[in-house]
Structure 1
């Protein structure tokens, strides 16, 4: 599904003052429909609001394309804000498919929870004690014991976020890879992460979870005291982001590799 100005379009805005003011201006200038009737969405806010909107779409089972406009802080996943020419921008928008990660977490108490993640799934130590984590890929143990503050699995779309700040690699959108990146690793000392084909499953097993408790976070959704976490790409829930052709997401990600 791609953008078209003639398609029923919903307008969503974050609670931030700048986003609320922009919403008033757009509603005065254009016609919008309720979310349940929309075939595409214009979202006003920052990257956090866009992620929140994508998660809401997954929960609703409504995978309409989203054209974000930056009324937040960084806005890496957003288009520039301007009121004029919205219909033409939607007609010219370049569509990118983003397949989320599927996180299946099992807690120490035996509870099993499944959440999607557009950017990354991260495991983080809950106390001063370092985390001890066993890493397996497609059933094969590749790291018997990773001693660290945590570890994350990032999609290409999320590789410029938390993954990059943890010294992980930037992945082109079409790479068909995910980044497996340690957070402050202590042992193995020289291991700095791996690139994993995105059709494989990654299992992260917490060693000694009673003494060294670990939480798992799918974007902004946290599960405390996990025993194990399985992560894989879920292509059945692919989402579509829309961008102005001159500032498309693939170009932005590529240029981040050369940022000072």
Structure 2
């Protein structure tokens, strides 16, 4: 049977650190630059940090749930890890690229595996203009914010903002407003993943807005451009019995 050189990474919680010690003792542990696969121990938030931290190596990542939320994780078991990795099904994630221009004129670029979100910085609602592939689609959206989510991120902040759940692997993005005031009936859109999205901040000095790609925040932005990366990918590994597609379907019928 093939064996894999594993690099274990774990969140700082007591439970995850105990699992790290037990798994390392049984299967060995090598540095990420010598590994063939990364095993991440924690919740979905830790999985996101792992994807960002190790994206340069582009190693497949197999997660085990040792946190409060584990949609991107497999169940935690000590036994048969090598066999589980061998049988795992691969899902390729393609992150979003955010280019945020601030009031100072500087441009910050960041990646988001879950979502890019724009949020008001003060008590006043944000006023933004939304363009798609160079064409203005919403001349003025008044809201607390707006986000663009990948399929992987559609069950996170996007779902909490009443956005649609997108199947893993689908060539789609979800654009979802956060507490929209006007237009009152606009509840978002499902976009092709090749879409080029531009969001311009109207009156940024009176109504400042921040932009965040996963956990990377840029404050006082005046425009933000979002597209799917054409170069970057990361691969998640799931047990065949993980039932990711079934879980996605079930999420849509939970009350």
Is the pair's TM-score, using the shorter chain for normalization, greater than 0.5? yes
Matches within 5 A, 1:170-185: 170-185=165-180
Separation in 1, partners of 2:2, 2:52: 24
Alignment correspondent of 2:182: 187
SS of equivalent to 1:36: helix
How many angstroms does 1:7 deviate by?
A: 2.7
Tell me if structure 1 keeps the 8 A contact 2:92–2:169.
no
Tell me if structure 2 keeps the 8 A contact 1:155–1:178.
yes
Which residue of 127, 132, 135 maps to 1:132? 127
Separation in 1, partners of 2:230, 2:251: 25
Alignment correspondent of 1:203: 198
SS of equivalent to 2:246: helix
Report whether the alignment pairs 1:6 with 2:3.
Answer: yes
Report whether the alignment pairs 1:120 with 2:112.
Answer: no
Alignment correspondent of 1:148: 143
Report whether the alignment pairs 1:44 with 2:41.
Answer: yes
Separation in 1, partners of 2:51, 2:180: 31
Deviates more, 1:240-249 or 1:183-192: 240-249
How many angstroms does 1:172 deviate by?
A: 1.0
Matches within 5 A, 1:47-86: 47-58=44-55, 61-86=56-81
Alignment correspondent of 1:237: 232
Q: Which ranges of structure 1 fall in alignment gaps of 5 or more residues?
A: none
Q: Which ranges of structure 2 fall in alignment gaps of 5 or more residues?
A: none
Alignment correspondent of 1:96: 91
How many angstroms does 1:12 deviate by?
A: 0.5
Tell me if structure 1 keeps the 8 A contact 2:4–2:82.
no
Tell me if structure 1 keeps the 8 A contact 2:60–2:235.
yes
Residues paired across the two proteins, number: 255
| RMSD (Å) for aligned C-alpha atoms | 1.2
Report whether the alignment pairs 1:17 with 2:14.
Answer: yes
How many angstroms does 1:5 deviate by?
A: 5.3
SS of equivalent to 2:124: coil
Alignment correspondent of 1:223: 218
Report whether the alignment pairs 1:253 with 2:252.
Answer: no
Deviation by residue 1:229-255 (Cα, 9 ceiling, x = unmatched) = 100111311110001101143332232
SS of equivalent to 2:231: helix
SS of equivalent to 2:169: helix
TM-score (norm 2): 0.97
Which residue of 161, 180, 203 maps to 1:166? 161
TM-score (norm 1): 0.95
Which residue of 203, 207, 215 maps to 1:212? 207
